[in-house]
Structure 1
């Protein structure tokens, strides 16, 4: 007699486990695990036999005979996936050259950051060569048309439908026959044959699985829009990111025009690329050289400023750090930070006062970046320190000088990765001096290297009275 094992199933995400738990290990729901009898091995084999031809069933073990035999990995034909450009260079940069046929791409971002605006620009340029289908579940077709008209994205080969039922969407795909399908957003879609509420774990997973199967079987590229939670992660089940081929994060400050598309996962290209865009009145425009957005050009050097180079993925970006030291003898001085790591700024202030003799006790210190740029890597430590010291002493750094280096608690200046590449980007923009750690690699000949071992040597580069 065959013994049937008992399984447990999560009512929220349908995850199956053979051991009861108070919390589902897949979706994290509490109290959703219920007992469900599992089929025995022979029962499963019988079901498989009833649905498949006899030629596919093994006679001895009850297993299925594969339709094609396994082969050595060395004999598998190596074919490179062909990419198709979206017409937007910055987006192609993050995607690894363009969109691959049959790929499923998830674009996540906060509400109002500009996801729909970017997608309208994508479909407009895509329609120059082929048909694109835009499915909107959050807005009406008339609302999308108003935005497209403002952006100049009206095109006869851009098809649009306001739908939320998965079956109807598949019908539109069959009628239109697009090469690009955009679903805005996946949390608003519903599969009639799946349980759960719209936007819930079960529904989002069912819709994504169905659209992924559609992409793989037809070669249509599918671009899904996804919401994010309060902590910035993609809303819905964590497995959603594992189902799709590419995960992109669209981020930006609502108070700034700068937007960035960051690759989180990419089966067809790198995951450390960043694309830069700028929101304008007429839509969104790519920024191929974003360093100028983060620099405030002065006719002469100003006390309290320092230029550094941050690496965002593989892209070096020049940024300006500004510091203001105000007042003296204030009982409870304020320390305010914007665009920088507050903990690192506090550490650098302590090093300046304890190791370098810069009087900051009783003074208010304000430190910020320009243009909404956020710099958190240690390579900006030396720039922050020199900006604060420059502001405290009212002495500006030499003109056309870029500053790189990590500062330790002992006041030493440590080496940072990619100094040569950072300095090369600064040289392209006209900088002629670089204050770098003493053990840095060779720099471009067009830039004069000012190597320092500790903070004392770095502060000595400030002009004297």
Structure 2
């Protein structure tokens, strides 16, 4: 019987497929996301003839740490785990206009300045637009940085086969199309085929390839999740457009840690690295304002001091407002409940506002004590001493629990001029003295409030 092509409908968001059109995807629930595709049936062949590689013992494979390429941008290299790995496939996502193209153009420019031959493939901008952007950036133009405007996957593969490039950027993966695939550019099938093709090109040639990807309205990279599984590293470029700071974060990294972040500042001449984020985030802090508290959070191996602001005010609404920026709103609600139960503060009928300055987002529980202190300071209209920083997790019974890397957090606070640090009593035995820093231990939330504001 002759094989026939089948018509299927595939979701643009999650990649699931159905045999009939539906207004809503049955898996992810997105509306009007199913697009028609033609599935080509291929006859089964002899699998024995496809064997092209022989298995080898794992201990016989020789590896070298010199396979990493340093880009010259320390913040970018930090997130990757020390540099770009030869033959790696890196996916970079972020909101439109956040600076993904600017970042990658600067990375290739830095590599070109060191003598590498790099290729920037743009499917959204012309070469004239790319040249104008390179001239605007500081050190953005170099003869060994080649640019081209192309979306045909076969043409891009031919360019890479003709010249041995040290690094290639594809901006963006949603604009690249495979001519043999009967689907529109940006569809699930095209993105999957393009990602698979680039993966083979990277592994076979040893050239690191960076794929720039757009994100959907829910913050995920557009296209099937299988694309994130195929690549070696997934980076997210985050930040609020109203703030000048941008954070590069790794959510998957086969060659390094996923806890490291890189901090950049957007300026007129492009992105500038921020080697000391603590000094930048605390530059405009007012130490005598009620509701302002400083805590030390860990981003990978780097401690960063951030300012948490809390505001408690009377409410004119039937349901008081709870506005939280940069923190987990469920975590804040938990801390408010503990404060009402263990401290007797009646916050249920008041408006509560929380903010982390600089556009930073804190997800670890070590900031619990600082959140509670910021709300209590605004409620009592008493400022927390400006030279004090707080570290600790709050339990449901009001106890203050220990956090990881407490010694590194305290050293960072001392370096920034803080003289007092409130820590959990259970962590005191593991800490050594830090010059110029007075360490005070507390066991319960009530004790911390008495130390900060008196009885």
Q: What TM bracket, shorter-length normalisation?
A: 0.7 to 0.9
1:53 corresponding residue in structure 2: none
Q: Is the 8 A contact 1:258 1:278 kept in 2?
A: yes
1:120 corresponding residue in structure 2: 105
Pick closer, same or farther for the CA change 1:37–1:165 going to 2, 3 Å: closer
Q: Is the 8 A contact 2:297 2:303 kept in 1?
A: yes
Deviations 1:336-365 (A, max 9, x none): 332222233233233223321334465443
- The two structures have a TM-score, normalised by structure 2, of 0.85
> How far apart are 1:433 and its partner, in Å?
1.5
Q: Give the distance between the partners of 1:143 and 1:67, measured in 2 at CA.
A: 43
Q: Give the distance between the partners of 2:373 and 2:225, measured in 1 at CA.
A: 43
1:143 corresponding residue in structure 2: 129
Q: Is the 8 A contact 2:257 2:300 kept in 1?
A: no
The equivalent position to 1:94 in structure 2, one of 74, 79, 90, is 79
Count of aligned residue pairs for this structure pair: 437
Are 1:454 and 2:444 counterparts?
yes
> How far apart are 1:67 and its partner, in Å?
6.2
Q: Alpha carbon RMSD of aligned pairs, Å?
A: 3.3
1:338 corresponding residue in structure 2: 325
Q: Give the distance between the partners of 2:251 and 2:345, measured in 1 at CA.
A: 42
Q: Is the 8 A contact 1:165 1:191 kept in 2?
A: yes
> How far apart are 1:450 and its partner, in Å?
1.2
Which moves more between the two structures, 73-82 or 233-242? 73-82
Pick closer, same or farther for the CA change 1:12–1:169 going to 2, 3 Å: farther
Q: Is the 8 A contact 2:9 2:35 kept in 1?
A: no
1:51-450, aligned counterparts within 5 Å? Answer: 63-64=48-49, 70-80=55-65, 82-128=67-113, 129-152=115-138, 153-297=140-284, 300-327=287-314, 333-360=320-347, 362-441=349-428, 442-446=430-434, 447-450=437-440
DSSP 3-state at the match of 1:191: coil
Q: Is the 8 A contact 2:322 2:353 kept in 1?
A: yes
> How far apart are 1:194 and its partner, in Å?
1.7
Segments of structure 2 that go 5 or more residues without pairing to the other structure are: 11-16
